[in-house]
Amino acid sequence: MRADSQSLVRLAEAAERLSCSRSSLYRLDRSGLLPIVRIGPGMPRVREADLAALIERGVPAGGGR
């Protein structure tokens, strides 16, 4: 996968990289910390740049609760 700002990451990979669950990713989306992009029915993705920025900011595993 390309590592540029336009790359999209599957939720399973994003959850693995953040050491959290898919449910936590949806909480991060609702809170505005990690927008989930829907590219089609049943195809949610996260932008690589958004994921990298969240990791850099150091949001705790589990969605930053």
Residue 62: predicted pLDDT: 57
What pLDDT does 1 receive? 41
The domain segmentation of the chain, as residue ranges, is 8-57
* Maximum Cα interatomic distance, the chain, rounded to a whole number of Å: 31
* Cβ proximity of 36 and 45 under 8 Å: yes
Q: How much is the pLDDT for 4?
A: 54
**pLDDT tens by residue, 34-59:** 999 999 999 999 999 999 999 999 87
What is the rounded distance in angstroms from the CA atom of residue 46 to the CA atom of residue 11?
Answer: 7
DSSP 13-56: HHHHHHT--HHHHHHHHHHTSSPEEE-STT-EEEEHHHHHHHHH
Residues 21-30 pLDDT 10s: 999 999 999 9
